[in-house]
Amino acid sequence: MIQDYVMQTGVNILLAWSVYIILLSGSLSFANGGFMAIGAYVSAVLTVKFGVPLILAAVLAGGVAFLFGIGVAFPALRTRGLYLILVTVGIAASVRAMLESIDYVGGIQGFSGMSGASPWHVVALVVIVGAALWLLSRSRLQRILDAVREDELVAASMGINVLYLKLACFGAGAFIAAVAGSFYAHYILFVRPDEFGILASVYIVLYVVLGGMNNLWGALVGATIMTLAPELMRGLAQWRPTVFGLLIVVLLLVRPNGLLPFRIPTTGRAKRRAVKP
C-alpha cells in the first residue's frame, strides 16, 4: 500500500517536473500525458517483445519521446499562447488515438506482460531530476531561460537563441515524462491508451499550477498534495471527487500564483560584489 503511494507520488512529481521544464522556456504543454504514453508503450515493447533490461528500455523510450517532442514542437512553436496550448492538447489526443489503432501494442485492449519496476526506481529518478533542477536553478542557464519565458523579443535582442532553448526544453520535458511513464507501466503491469488521455495531461499541468510555476519545489509540492489528498479523503465516499474539485478551486482562489510562488534570483546579492560609486 505504502509502496503504491510512493510510486504514484513519485511518478506524478516527475510528470509535474516534465511540465515545469517545458514551462521554463515559457510554453505550457498539455502533451505530457502523450509523452508519458510513448514512454510506457515503447519501453513495454522493448522489455516484453525484445527482452531489453528495464533501465535501458526506459532510457531508450525517453530518447524516442525526446525526438518525438522536438519533432512536434518544431512546427508547434510557430504558434503562441493559447494556440500553442491547443496544439499540445492535439498532440496528446493524437498519441492516444495512434496507440488505439496499433494492433501490435494491443490497440484499445491495452498491453501487458511487463514487470520489474519498484518504487525505488522512481525515488532514485526523483532525486536525480530534482538535483539537476536544483543545480539548474542556480545556474546561468536558469537566468537565460527566465529571460526567454518572460519576453522572447528582449531575450533575442540579448543574444539568446530562443527557438533552440524552447525546443531543448520540450525535448527534455518529453524525456522525463517518458521515463516516468516507463517505470509506471512496469509497476502497474498493464497499460491502456485511455489512461493517457487529455485528462491525464490536465492533471499534470494542475500539479504545477497549484504548486507554483516559478521554482522546482512548487511542482513537487503540488504533485504530492494532489496525489495524496484524494487518498486522505476516502471517508467521503462518493463525495470525494466533488470535495477534491472544490479544494482545487479554493486553492486557486486563495493562492492564484500557486502554493510556492517565489522565484529564487540567480545572482548573489549586489551589495557584496559591487563597488560603491
Among residues 157 and 238, whose Cβ is nearest to other proteins? 157
What track of x and - describes contact with other proteins for positions 70 through 89 (by CB under 8 A)? --------------------
CA–CA distance, 73 with 7 (Å, rounded to integer): 29
- The CB-of-151 to other proteins minimum distance in angstroms stands at 6
What track of x and - describes contact with other proteins for positions 98 through 137 (by CB under 8 A)? ----------------------------------------
CA–CA distance, 248 with 239 (Å, rounded to integer): 14
260 binds other proteins (CB under 8 A): no
What track of x and - describes contact with other proteins for positions 146 through 165 (by CB under 8 A)? xx--xx-xxxxxxxxxx---
- The CB-of-264 to other proteins minimum distance in angstroms stands at 11
Give the three cell numbers for residue 54. 528495464
CB atoms within 10 A of CB 94: 13
- The CB-of-262 to other proteins minimum distance in angstroms stands at 11
**Count of residues engaged in binding other proteins, rule: CB under 8 A:** 30
Residues near 142 by beta carbon (within 8 Å), at least 6 away in sequence: 24, 136, 266
CA–CA distance, 252 with 224 (Å, rounded to integer): 16
CB atoms within 10 A of CB 204: 32
CA–CA distance, 27 with 30 (Å, rounded to integer): 10
Question: Candidates 69-77, 95-103, 145-153, 201-209 — which segment interacts with other proteins by CB under 8 A?
Answer: 145-153
Among residues 31 and 216, whose Cβ is nearest to other proteins? 216
| Whether the Cβ atoms of residue 59 and residue 199 lie closer than 8 Å to each other | no
Which residue in the block uniquely carries the three cell numbers 504545477?
Answer: 208
CA–CA distance, 73 with 78 (Å, rounded to integer): 9
Q: Which residues of 107-136 are buried (b: 16+ CB within 10 A; e: fewer)?
A: eeebbeebeebebebbeebbeebbeebeeb
What track of x and - describes contact with other proteins for positions 173 through 212 (by CB under 8 A)? ----------------------------------------
271 binds other proteins (CB under 8 A): yes
Among residues 75 and 268, whose Cβ is nearest to other proteins? 268
| Whether the Cβ atoms of residue 41 and residue 105 lie closer than 8 Å to each other | yes
- Name which of 125, 132, 115 is nearest 10 in CA terms: 125
What track of x and - describes contact with other proteins for positions 205 through 244 (by CB under 8 A)? ---------x------------------------------
49 binds other proteins (CB under 8 A): no
Binding site for other proteins (CB under 8 A): 140, 143-144, 146-147, 150-151, 153-162, 214, 263, 265-267, 269-271, 273-277
